[in-house]
Amino acid sequence: MNLFKRKHKKEKIYTNPWEKYYEEGKETIDIPDISIYEYLERKYINYEYSVAINYFNQKMSYRELINKIDLCAKALVSYGVRENDVVSICLPNVPEAVIAFYAINKIGAIANMIHPLSAELEIKDSLLKTNTVLLITLNITFNKVESIIDDTKIYKTVIVSPKDSMPTLLGLGYMLSKELSLNIPKSNEKYMLWNDFILKGEKYNKNIKKDRKAKEDAVILHSGGTTGTPKNIVLTNGNINAIMEEAKICFPTLDTKDTFLSILPLFHCLGLVVNVLAPLTFGSTIALIPQFDPKRFDKLIKKYKPTVLLGVPTLFEALIKNPYMINYDMSHVSTVVSGGDSLTIDKNEEINNYLKEHNCSARIMQGYGMTETTGPASIGFNNSDKLGSIGIPLPSTEIKILNIETMEEMKYGEIGEICITGPTVMSRYLDNKKETDDIIKVHEDGKRWVHTGDLGYMDEDGVLFYVQRLKRMLIVSGYNVYPSHIEKVLEEHKYVDTCGVIGIPDPYKIQVPKAFIVLKKGIEPTPEVTKELKDYCYTHLSKYMIPKKFEYRESLPKTLVGKIDYRKLEK
């Protein structure tokens, strides 16, 4: 149940910004029945001259952002994109990605977010499964796109350069150092450079805005769900707008004075929803960081002076290990949130001590959620941020712990599966009813509950604690990595007979994959074989999925029922 609907005999030890909603008898928050774009459009008029985006100190106001969204939307329509068409965005954190996302939503199309470091076959698979008609991609991915684009339904590819929105001198430096060797074609019938694409929008004068409703599809994100096989997650306008409404209640003081350091990528649910869309509804500034270098983290903090730091545990690991942050005054930081993976109690304390030592009054708040719940479902506030906990349910979100076998709700302190319901529960997995029905189940209360595949418990104060995953899954720098998917890819290679993948500790990424491989008869584990397998992985797997180590075995340990014994491999 939702935390504040429970009755406690003892006095609650915490307060939070949304408790009054339950005291007033409200069961749910009000979610506007409009598109994501219209949600922003209604808000921006209150802060149209404030800075929306800061990109290498090139600042864009909200008025400028809305105007650029309008031009992009017109360009999309002029090139034939229609309502419910899918447009894929394969970009890092650059202004064009934000502009394109809102423009796609404005015309009633659907944005498909792709990791620009994806292997070419992964990009192809995503474009085909989503029926993408137009692609907006980064120039450094052009070679990958060029090799697969003819096998898709795409009729126009728009190419973005990181320099397009940079200050002039910085953009010139980027072009001379990195871009001249890319061999990007000039605009033609098939490919178009971003600036030429936007010019097309300036010449289009027809009405383009579509009145989309909350229940209609808005964006496709990607995850392995609870089973590990890649899935296309469809989120609606209502899912996103619900998070925006919850965010306003959770963080009522955030406004135009605040700056978010937007490091988490837009193709990641946490990065898109919490680190970009939510700040823009507050009227805050997002400092877009297209590529994160942990060794230069100090420069980002000192340059942008963010008031809000939101990231995965590896980001905070990079912060506390940066030697150039010694004696730096972090009093400008008012909010610190960690998501994407759980922090250990020791690491939680270490980060809080670090913040205190650097004159920061904030304590790190841990959150919990998944892409299937449009990101966060719980967060730690005030005295509910107990060490090792993952907080309390967000407004209008309910969480309960179920017995895995009987489906009965567990008592306080008892471990079971974490289940979530509320307006942020995804629409579905695209074209995959079976997997959708496996993860979302309608309970006796008539509500759609996400069965997360995670084990946890609630204490007597209603604070949520995470224990472990029901099924194997690694988290590498905040990204879900499924060993079964890596194993399947490797076992399709002609050299590999059997493969087992586990996670091993990494000082920065927390975990990285390691592959135990049994080669086919006649194949010897030579350096050449390892290079062949690594090259194969670079073609078929995203960069963060590629095993850091390969170990060759004559055989792999088995359980009594003949399955690979991963516990023995981990030992």
CA distances from 275 to 194, 326, 429 (A): 24, 26, 24
CA dist 120 and 141 (Å) reads 9
Over residues 352-363, the mean pLDDT reads 94
Tens digit of each residue's pLDDT (9 = 90 or more) over 285-330? 999 999 888 889 999 999 999 999 998 888 898 899 899 999 999 9
Q: Model confidence at 207, in pLDDT bands (50, 70, 90)?
A: confident
Please say if the pLDDT value at position 486 is more than 50: yes
CA dist 88 and 118 (Å) reads 13
Q: Computed from CA positions of residues 254, 256, 260, 262, in that sequence, does the dihedral angle turn out positive or negative?
A: positive
3-state SS class at 475: strand
Q: Which residue has the higher pLDDT, 2 or 123?
A: 123
CA dist 5 and 18 (Å) reads 12
3-state SS class at 11: coil
Tens digit of each residue's pLDDT (9 = 90 or more) over 405-417? 889 999 999 989 9
Over residues 538-567, the mean pLDDT reads 87
DSSP characters for 415-445?
A: -EEEEEESTTS-SEETT-HHHHHHHEEE-TT
Superfamily of domain 474-570, CATH level 4:
ANL, C-terminal domain (3.30.300.30)
CA dist 87 and 89 (Å) reads 7
Please say if the pLDDT value at position 10 is more than 50: no
Give Cβ neighbours of residue 108 (< 8 Å, ≥ 6 apart).
Answer: 35, 82, 83, 84, 210, 212, 216
Q: Model confidence at 508, in pLDDT bands (50, 70, 90)?
A: confident
**pLDDT, position 11:** 45
Over residues 423-439, the mean pLDDT reads 96
Q: Model confidence at 206, in pLDDT bands (50, 70, 90)?
A: confident
Where in the chain do CATH 3.30.300.30 domains reside? Answer: 474-570
Most confidently modeled range among 23-37, 375-389, 472-486, 529-543: 529-543
Give the mean pLDDT of the chain: 89
- In the chain, the N- to C-terminal Cα span, in Å, equals 38
**pLDDT, position 17:** 61
Q: Are 276 and 40 in contact (CB under 8 A)?
A: no
3-state SS class at 188: coil
Given its phi and psi angles, is residue 407 left (phi above 0), alpha (psi -120 to 50 degrees) or beta?
left
Q: Which class is 36-213 in CATH?
A: alpha beta
Where in the chain do CATH 3.40.50.12780 domains reside? Answer: 3-29+236-420+452-469, 36-213
**pLDDT, position 395:** 87
Strand residue runs (E) in 224-370: 231-236, 259-262, 285-288, 308-311, 335-338, 364-370
Measuring CA to CA, which residue among 291, 282, 272, 303 is closest to residue 58? 303
Q: Computed from CA positions of residues 244, 248, 249, 251, in that sequence, does the dihedral angle turn out positive or negative?
A: positive
Biggest alpha carbon–alpha carbon distance for the chain: 73
To the question of pTM greater than 0.75 for the whole model, the response is yes
Length in residues, the chain: 571
Q: Model confidence at 541, in pLDDT bands (50, 70, 90)?
A: very high
Strand residue runs (E) in 145-216: 156-160, 191-193
**pLDDT, position 209:** 82
Strand residue runs (E) in 424-557: 428-429, 440-442, 448-458, 464-469, 474-476, 479-481, 496-506, 510-519, 549-552
| Separation of CA 104 from chain center | 19
Q: Which of the residue ranges 402-406, 475-479, 508-512, 557-561 would you say has the lowest mean pLDDT?
A: 557-561
**pLDDT, position 205:** 87
Provide the b/e sequence for 391-405 (b: ≥16 CB within 10 Å). bbbbbbbbbbbbeee
Give the single-character DSSP code of 536.
H
**pLDDT, position 2:** 42
Please say if the pLDDT value at position 78 is more than 60: yes
Measuring CA to CA, which residue among 268, 214, 220, 232 is closest to residue 436? 232
Please say if the pLDDT value at position 7 is more than 80: no
Please say if the pLDDT value at position 222 is more than 60: yes
**What CATH architecture does domain 3-29+236-420+452-469 belong to?**
3-Layer(aba) Sandwich (3.40)
Please say if the pLDDT value at position 225 is more than 70: no
Q: Which residue has the higher pLDDT, 404 or 60?
A: 60
Tens digit of each residue's pLDDT (9 = 90 or more) over 255-269? 999 999 999 999 999
Residue 467: HSE in the Cβ half-sphere, 13 Å Cα cutoff? 17
Q: Are 63 and 107 in contact (CB under 8 A)?
A: no
Over residues 112-137, the mean pLDDT reads 95
Q: Which residue has the higher pLDDT, 304 or 29?
A: 304
Q: Model confidence at 16, in pLDDT bands (50, 70, 90)?
A: low
Tokens of 305: 């002076």
Provide the b/e sequence for 295-321 (b: ≥16 CB within 10 Å). eebbebbeebebbbbbbbbbbbbbbbe
**pLDDT, position 3:** 40
CA dist 89 and 76 (Å) reads 13
**pLDDT, position 317:** 87
Q: Are 28 and 393 in contact (CB under 8 A)?
A: no
Tens digit of each residue's pLDDT (9 = 90 or more) over 82-105? 999 999 999 999 999 999 999 999
